[in-house]
Structure 1
Amino acid sequence: MSNGSPFKRVLITGISGSGGSYLAEYIVNHQPGVEVHGLARWHSTTTTDNLRAIRDRITVHECDLMDFGSVFAALQAVQPDAIFHLAAHANVRASFTTPNAVLSNNILGTSNLFEAIRLAKLDPLIQLCSTSEVYGQVDPKYVPITEETPLRPASPYAVSKVAQDMLGLTYFLSYQLRIIRTRMFTYLNPRRTDLFATSFARQVAWIERGLQQEVVHGNLDSVRTLIDVRDAMRAYWEALLYCEPGETYNIGGTTTMKVGEFLDQLVALSSVPIPTRCDPALLRPADVTLQIPHVEKFVNATGWQPQYSFEESMKYLLDYWRGQADKFL
């Protein structure tokens, strides 16, 4: 596929977050000539450290998606020709504790964004970042999971992402907003601490440095397909270049294993013995498994393939957290 970019100015919602910051880095480093803008809430400033490597090459606008006026003003100022909508409360387990906060933030924030785009009379290409969590507890007969698999959300977070997904379809059908919906499967993201893989890597690094005694974990039996966050963010860019507005696309890797098997492989990379223990507090009221994607629709549209091996991704994840642990010594 061509490396040329049809976009002059892109906007990333949630740019200071774990995914948004990696996406911004990808665009800055691999798409020269593209102006990168981002939206971040004032109380997200503690996470702007994620952007330290590219801070002087992007423009961050203070904006809360729950505040329609600030969203409208930011869009008027930026006039983007492409938007990546990544901002969300994305902690699945926390959504059982604070469901209303997660539902209102994710659904109304997305509604505000789409309404502001419509009322500002802008016509950007829009990538709506959804998740494999929308498929929820999948009947084995639907595995591997295609885009037509019934949605069976098993957490308030997943419900909020289904609503975002359907809003994307609604605004495409009703107002011709050019929205491409992507459903990302499990990725290895060092900056997102609520993911099981990141939690395990952080704990292993802490134990290696004598900062912790054991790894605590929840359900180890869930089956996931894993991808590197750097491949995932490149996939988002490819989605806007080659995918069709109004369509949904699964994105995921090719390495499939149980959560417990991932932990075993991570422990094998460690320089010291790693005791592990199940903490009942880490078990969700309902969990998902068999998160194995069918990604041919996306691959056929884009030609995208993962560039990082599972071993490279795992080392990248663990080395990141070893570096964080060293700051405490």
Structure 2
Amino acid sequence: MRILITGANGFVANHLVKQVINHDIYLTSHSDQTIIDDEQIFKMDVRDEDSIRKVLHAVNPDVIVHLAAQSNVPFAWKHPVETMEINAIGTTNLISSIIKLKLSTKLIVVGSSDEYGITAKTRQLLSESDPCLPQNPYAISKLAAEQLGIQLARKHHVNIVCLRPFNHFGSGQKKGFVVSDFCSQIAEIERGIQEPTIQVGDISTYRDFLPVDDVVNAYITAINKDIPNDIYNISSGKPIKIEKILEKLIGFSNKKITVVRDDRRYRPAEVKSFAGDYSKFNEATNWSPKYDIDECLLRTLNWWRNKV
């Protein structure tokens, strides 16, 4: 099987490549420099349909896992047009290229749980049938990409599977995400780079956290299983208080670390709990999360300890 993974420089792509075995793997990156040492990397900008067609023509993939995205929410607020171009228009360009080249390709489009937005205020666990009310440019761009993809695929008979992963973490994730931010600060405290204080905003909220290993396993399952064209949540179904995540990570350190609320960062969350129901994907594939969250938190912290 020929598998094309877009977004070779991304956090999840790096983990996915290591786990997909016994297949021909091809990667794309918009940059000349990649974090994955592999000779089968094509330079491709999803905003440029010509570059997409060249890659698809060369590879003729059986499956495409579309991970290329602009996923930083603060960046999206500052650059909403660029975010929309990469995420929504880029995905549309990819599907249009599949259609024009008449490829029999399964396209796995990776969206985001952020698409649900404030709907989470009225749901204990979010399901795929719940309305999406996204509240930031990133989430809007992901929802647009997904919905455009579904409609084009339906009209032109393209095999498309849309996945909505919830919060995931692991080694290699950049700062700007809850677990990586906590881990990087603890590692810097242990090295004496930072004072033994972690300043936080509102950590009283509950979120659905998955180790990246579970997310990658879900993507591999979607690659290998013949499942209906549809939208599927990838989640744990078990919301965890962010404060508890921080307590676990601090507990792995032999340093005495103080947690201080920073009023500049503190904004009471509009959505207190945000978690997903993965039963639809489980019924279609028999996938369920299996990795121990504590072990994965420690592994992520150790990665940051080696990095700082």
Deviation, 1:192, is: 2.1
Task: State how far apart, in whole Å, the 2-side matches of 1:283 and 1:121 are.
Answer: 51
The 8 Å contact of residues 127 and 276 in structure 2, kept in 1 or not, is answered as yes
Q: Deviations over 1:268-300 (max 9, x none)?
A: 111101233444565689865422111111111
Task: State how far apart, in whole Å, the 2-side matches of 1:59 and 1:11 are.
Answer: 10
Task: State how far apart, in whole Å, the 1-side matches of 2:204 and 2:215 are.
Answer: 24
Task: State how far apart, in whole Å, the 2-side matches of 1:233 and 1:137 are.
Answer: 27
2:3 corresponding residue in structure 1 = 10
In structure 2, the CA distance between the partners of 1:243 and 1:187, relative to structure 1 (3 Å rule), is farther
Q: TM-score, normalised by structure 2?
A: 0.93
In the TM superposition, 1:38-187 aligns within 5 A as 38-42=27-31, 45=33, 48-49=34-35, 51=36, 55-56=37-38, 59-187=40-168
2:194 corresponding residue in structure 1 = 212
1:37 corresponding residue in structure 2 = 26
Instruction: Report the residue type matching 2:227 in the other structure.
Output: E
Residue 231 (structure 1) aligned with residue 220 (structure 2): no
Q: Secondary structure at the match of 2:111?
A: strand
Task: State how far apart, in whole Å, the 2-side matches of 1:276 and 1:253 are.
Answer: 27
Task: State how far apart, in whole Å, the 2-side matches of 1:217 and 1:315 are.
Answer: 20
In structure 2, the CA distance between the partners of 1:89 and 1:202, relative to structure 1 (3 Å rule), is same
Q: Deviations over 1:48-102 (max 9, x none)?
A: 23x2xxx24x611011111111111011111100000011000123222222221
Instruction: Report the residue type matching 1:135 in the other structure.
Output: Y
1:317 corresponding residue in structure 2 = 300
1:272 corresponding residue in structure 2 = 255
Deviation, 1:135, is: 0.4
Instruction: Report the residue type matching 1:17 in the other structure.
Output: G
Deviation, 1:124, is: 0.6
Deviation, 1:217, is: 3.0
Q: Deviations over 1:141-165 (max 9, x none)?
A: 4221111011010111000011011
Task: State how far apart, in whole Å, the 2-side matches of 1:255 and 1:91 are.
Answer: 24
The 8 Å contact of residues 187 and 232 in structure 1, kept in 2 or not, is answered as yes
Task: State how far apart, in whole Å, the 2-side matches of 1:156 and 1:260 are.
Answer: 27
1:24 to 14, 17, 28: 17
| Structure 2, gaps ≥5 residues long | none
Task: State how far apart, in whole Å, the 2-side matches of 1:163 and 1:285 are.
Answer: 28
1:295 to 278, 281, 297: 278
1:304 corresponding residue in structure 2 = 287
Task: State how far apart, in whole Å, the 1-side matches of 2:13 and 2:163 are.
Answer: 15
- Pick which of 168-177 and 128-137 moved more: 168-177
Q: Secondary structure at the match of 1:42?
A: coil
In structure 2, the CA distance between the partners of 1:198 and 1:141, relative to structure 1 (3 Å rule), is same
Q: TM-score, normalised by structure 1?
A: 0.87
Q: Deviations over 1:221-278 (max 9, x none)?
A: 3311111101101101102333534211111125421222211221111110123344
The 8 Å contact of residues 118 and 133 in structure 2, kept in 1 or not, is answered as yes
Instruction: Report the residue type matching 2:203 in the other structure.
Output: L
- Pick which of 288-297 and 175-184 moved more: 288-297
In structure 2, the CA distance between the partners of 1:110 and 1:273, relative to structure 1 (3 Å rule), is same
Task: State how far apart, in whole Å, the 2-side matches of 1:16 and 1:283 are.
Answer: 32
In structure 2, the CA distance between the partners of 1:66 and 1:192, relative to structure 1 (3 Å rule), is same
The 8 Å contact of residues 93 and 284 in structure 1, kept in 2 or not, is answered as no
